[in-house]
Structure 1
Amino acid sequence: MPSSPTDPCDDEQVSLRRKPSQRRSARRVERMLDACAELLDEVGYEALSTTRIAERANVAIGSVYQFFPDKRAITQSLTQRNVELFISRVGRRFMTEEFTGWWHAVDAIIDEYVDMHRTVPGFRSLRFGDAVDLNLLDTVSENNMVIAGRLRGLLLEEFGMADSEELDLSLTVAVEAGGAVLALAFRRDPGGWPPLVDGAKRLIREYLSSQLQAQRTARA
């Protein structure tokens, strides 16, 4: 079985100086992440600073440095939160809806991604970190490879696909290609231009269909 990309949760110690041990501290950290998300949408990553984040979160700058060494670390923690929210939302869909095939599950995954683009502060500016740093989630694997690994786990569990290096590669290509088209959709229209969103779905479905069929044929 191919090795899985590093789970972004395993990198939490990289972005946090220390984990908040009390509920009050945890809420303070969440306010910092919320402030970071809002500022990313308003001023962008280059103009982002720990001072601005502290002011927006209404905390002392020392409180920021108590948990985070710099703005990159805060952005990394926000990215991890985005990933966990995305996987949670997709997992909830998988638990509550009946998919007649994996292609409907892929459509649901894309719908959740698009909705987060529209509704989650900071997500359109950061996504899964690729807008800032291709290795923000993991020092070895690029961000989209980490996401592909997480989605692979969901699809394997739900549809019993055969785990293989070929499936890994196919999902990585699908995430990269689909992500590029979706990024274009949101550059064209802040709400996501529907023809390009539909195009991303078709691209991913048709590519994965052809790859899965080729893998079945090769094993026959």
Structure 2
Amino acid sequence: MQEKPPRVAAKGVAARRQPAQQRSRERLDRILEIAQRLIAEKGSEHVKMSEIAELAEISIGSLYQYFPDKRAIVQTLAGNYAAESRRCVREALEAVQTKAQLLDAFGALVDQYYEIVLDKPVMRDISSALRSDKALMSIEIAESKACGAMLATAIRRVTPRADSKRVNALAFLIWQLGEETMRLAVAHKRGEGALLVDAYKRMSLRAIEEA
């Protein structure tokens, strides 16, 4: 998952300027890189727009041309992570042809996601920011629906007689509970967090197997 995700605009607050020229794109990348680093270091609630502008070596007015407020920056970063997450899920589940393969693929995705969240503190802060802002919460819900839909498609592929409505509801619930589990896990010591993730994975795998 080292490939740089594309810049995406999620529904709601968004970046004001979509740069077309190379120099503008590079400036936007730098703004996001700096914001990401600051959020990882101190948490989004303690990061100021003026601080981002200073480190990016641009005026505050120029920064506002790209983002109307800090919420828009958080949204853009969340959208980028979501796009990369969907790519990984799609690649893992599209190749699934048997239930055994599906169980292996899902288990690997859970383990991979947990390691990434542990390795990138900025993702934890962004996740918390999304949950504390109702206007941004829709990003996470939309992501769970998108990834849940891919999981549901894989379940129906290996279990063609399964009830589609039940499978859709199950897949969405599994994915949304996964987000909640990751938040809970990183709030505990690593050993305790790993146990929580393992419990979630076992429950989910059992539900998928019985679908």
> Where on the TM-score scale, by shorter chain, does this alignment land: which range?
0.7 to 0.9
Q: Matched residue of 1:11: which SS?
A: coil
Match of 1:90 in 2: 89
Match of 2:198 in 1: 198
The separation in 1 between residues aligned to 2:11 and 2:130, in whole angstroms, is 18
8 Å CA contact retained: 2:9, 2:79? no
Q: Deviations over 1:8-35 (max 9, x none)?
A: 9563684111211112211211221122
- Higher deviation after alignment, 179-188 or 150-159: 150-159
Matched, 1:31 2:30: yes
- The offset of 1:188, in angstroms, is 0.9
Unaligned runs of 5+ in 2: 1-6
TM-score scaled by length of structure 2: 0.77
The separation in 2 between residues aligned to 1:107 and 1:200, in whole angstroms, is 10
Unaligned runs of 5+ in 1: 1-7, 213-220
Q: Which amino acid aligns with 2:147?
A: L
Give the aligned length.
200
Match of 1:4 in 2: none
Listed as ranges, the matches of 1:71-220 within 5 Å are 71-94=70-93, 100-120=100-120, 122-127=122-127, 130-136=130-136, 142-156=138-152, 158=154, 160=157, 164-189=164-189, 193-210=193-210, 212=211
8 Å CA contact retained: 1:185, 1:193? yes
The separation in 2 between residues aligned to 1:36 and 1:190, in whole angstroms, is 26
Match of 1:3 in 2: none
Relative to structure 1, the CA distance from residue 69 to residue 190 in structure 2 (aligned partners, 3 Å threshold; closer, same or farther) is: farther
Q: Deviations over 1:92-135 (max 9, x none)?
A: 44578987332222212212321321233511211385344244
Listed as ranges, the matches of 1:12-91 within 5 Å are 14-91=13-90
- Higher deviation after alignment, 75-84 or 12-21: 12-21
- The offset of 1:198, in angstroms, is 0.9
Q: Matched residue of 2:130: which SS?
A: coil
Q: Which amino acid aligns with 2:151?
A: L
Match of 1:217 in 2: none
- The offset of 1:75, in angstroms, is 0.7
Relative to structure 1, the CA distance from residue 46 to residue 14 in structure 2 (aligned partners, 3 Å threshold; closer, same or farther) is: closer
Relative to structure 1, the CA distance from residue 171 to residue 156 in structure 2 (aligned partners, 3 Å threshold; closer, same or farther) is: closer
- Higher deviation after alignment, 52-61 or 21-30: 52-61
TM-score scaled by length of structure 1: 0.75
Which structure: greater helix fraction?
A: 2
Query: Sequence identity of aligned pairs in percent?
Result: 26
The separation in 1 between residues aligned to 2:21 and 2:11, in whole angstroms, is 17
Q: CA RMSD in A?
A: 3.1
Relative to structure 1, the CA distance from residue 119 to residue 55 in structure 2 (aligned partners, 3 Å threshold; closer, same or farther) is: farther
The separation in 2 between residues aligned to 1:65 and 1:178, in whole angstroms, is 35
8 Å CA contact retained: 2:49, 2:69? yes
- The offset of 1:73, in angstroms, is 0.6
The separation in 2 between residues aligned to 1:22 and 1:181, in whole angstroms, is 41
- The offset of 1:205, in angstroms, is 1.7
